[in-house]
């Protein structure tokens, strides 16, 4: 899953692809590098991010999504706003990727009303503006697994088939570095939920303690983390560096086989 940030305040690229033309050029580059699907985000959810309304989010998203739909490639929209979900699905997006796991009023209904749509349900303790201030867990892996299991069940009760869902443990979303490491070591528990497992560790600050690098310089650390997640059962990798990740995963899987 190649990341296309349409925000002026992304932690990883700082608005480099915020303009539609730049976003589309980046999308083409990710596809050429071998991305299987693109994830479009028009509101930053990095720690401390200031929320934007759904009108501004759609203003940023609409021209890029409209063009990408005509490319006939799988598209995911990273949003927690129900209005954006409905508009994006009506335009032709394939997946809703929600850091709130469809808990906001109307979000679950937006996905349930689109029988062909997929959904990614992510765990987050708190909300982006405050989530890293004092995260606490008694057992982070058990709590994340329990929460995501409840959300999967809520979607199934709303008529959403299990094969339409994937879960994301939410590395870095209301978690300390130690929480992230504990969660990574027990990542395989999430496979017991019966749906696909997506992880996003690319360039995140959790890697800085071991790499000591700025976000754009964390490619090697991101690859190491991605391979650890693949070994634990991750099936979808949400990444900035598609070509490097594909090469690393293909080599890892060939040697492991």
Print burial letters for 94-126: b (CB count within 10 Å at least 16), e (below 16): bbbbbbbbbeeeebbebbbebeebbbbbbbbbe
Question: By CB neighbour count within 10 A (0-12 exposed, 13-18 middle, 19+ buried), where does 42 fall?
Answer: buried
> Would you give the DSSP letter of residue 79?
-
Residues in the chain: 257
- What DSSP designation does 204 have? -
Among candidate residues 238, 246, 250, 256, the one labeled active-site is 238
Q: Which of 9, 96, 89, 85 is nearest to 44 (CA)?
A: 9
Is residue 171 a contact partner of residue 204, using CB atoms and an 8 Å limit?
A: yes
Distance CA 147, CA 165 (A): 15
Catalytic residue among 204, 216, 218, 256: 204
Q: Among positive and negative, which fits the CA dihedral 12, 15, 16, 19? A: positive
Q: For this structure, is 59 an active site residue?
A: no
Rounded-to-integer distance, Cα 144 and Cα 133, Å: 18
With tokens 């021209």, the residue in question is 63
Question: Is 204 assigned a catalytic role?
Answer: yes
Residues annotated as catalytic (active site), given as ranges: 204, 238
């Amino acid at each position: 899953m190649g990341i296309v940030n349409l925000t002026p305040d992304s932690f990883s690229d700082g608005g480099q692809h915020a303009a539609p033309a730049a976003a589309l050029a980046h999308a083409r580059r990710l596809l050429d590098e071998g991305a299987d699907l693109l994830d479009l985000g028009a509101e930053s959810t990095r720690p401390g991010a200031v929320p934007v309304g759904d009108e501004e989010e759609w203003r940023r998203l609409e021209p890029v999504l409209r063009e990408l739909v005509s490319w006939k490639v799988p598209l995911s929209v990273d949003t927690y706003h129900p209005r954006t979900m409905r508009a994006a699905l009506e335009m032709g997006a394939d997946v809703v990727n929600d850091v709130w796991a469809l808990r906001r009023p109307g979000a679950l209904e937006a996905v349930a009303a689109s029988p062909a749509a997929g959904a990614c349900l992510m765990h987050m303790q708190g909300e982006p503006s405050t989530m890293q201030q004092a995260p606490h867990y008694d057992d982070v892996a058990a709590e994340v697994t329990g929460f995501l299991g409840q959300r999967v069940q809520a979607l199934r009760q709303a008529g959403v088939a299990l094969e339409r869902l994937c879960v994301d443990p939410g590395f870095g979303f209301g978690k300390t570095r130690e929480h992230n490491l504990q969660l990574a070591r027990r990542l395989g528990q999430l496979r017991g939920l019966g749906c696909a497992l997506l992880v996003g560790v690319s360039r995140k600050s959790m890697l800085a303690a071991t790499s000591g690098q700025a976000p754009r310089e964390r490619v090697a650390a991101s690859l190491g983390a991605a391979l650890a997640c693949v070994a634990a059962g991750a099936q979808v990798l949400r990444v900035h560096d598609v070509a490097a990740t594909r090469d690393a995963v293909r080599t890892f899987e060939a040697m492991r086989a």
